Amino acid sequence: DVKVTQSSRYLVKRTGEKVFLECVQDMDHENMFWYRQDPGLGLRLIYFSYDVKMKEKGDIPEGYSVSREKKERFSLILESASTNQTSMYLCATLQGGSYEQYFGPGTRLTVT
């Protein structure tokens, strides 16, 4: 079974802090994604990566950056956290040629 883990289930940060969210997968999938989930809005894609050191902007990249130095790890960075970034963050992976995304358990981030 694919296992996707996220570094924290719950996180509370102050406005202006730099925040790192980590995602690690153990199935050698090429593709990794970061989404945020908000009530009534579903999942919105922030960034994705098709390979190591490669990244592409999704629909809502403003205020975020990502890093993929190793195939199994995809990090989401909030350079200066703001209250409107309070949300559930979901990491997902996808094997090349497949269609089914595998999701981590999510990180619920609160910015105060």
- E strands, 1-112, in order: 4-6, 10-13, 19-25, 31-38, 42-49, 56-57, 64-70, 73-78, 87-94, 102-103, 107-111
Question: What minimum distance in Å lies between the beta carbon of 41 and another protein?
Answer: 6
- Give one DSSP letter per residue of 74-98, joined into a string: EEEEESS--GGG-EEEEEEEE-TT-
Distance of CA 110 to the CA centre of its chain: 15
Of 47, 64, 74, 102, the one binding another protein (CB under 8 A) is 102
**Number of amino acids touching another protein (CB under 8 A):** 19
Is 1 a residue that touches another protein (CB under 8 A)? no
Of 45, 67, 71, 77, the one binding another protein (CB under 8 A) is 45
Is 92 a residue that touches another protein (CB under 8 A)? yes
Is 101 a residue that touches another protein (CB under 8 A)? yes
> Whose Cβ is closer to another protein: residue 43's or residue 77's?
43
Helices (H), 11-93: none
Q: Residue numbers of the site for another protein (CB under 8 A)?
A: 4, 9, 35, 40-45, 90, 92, 99-106
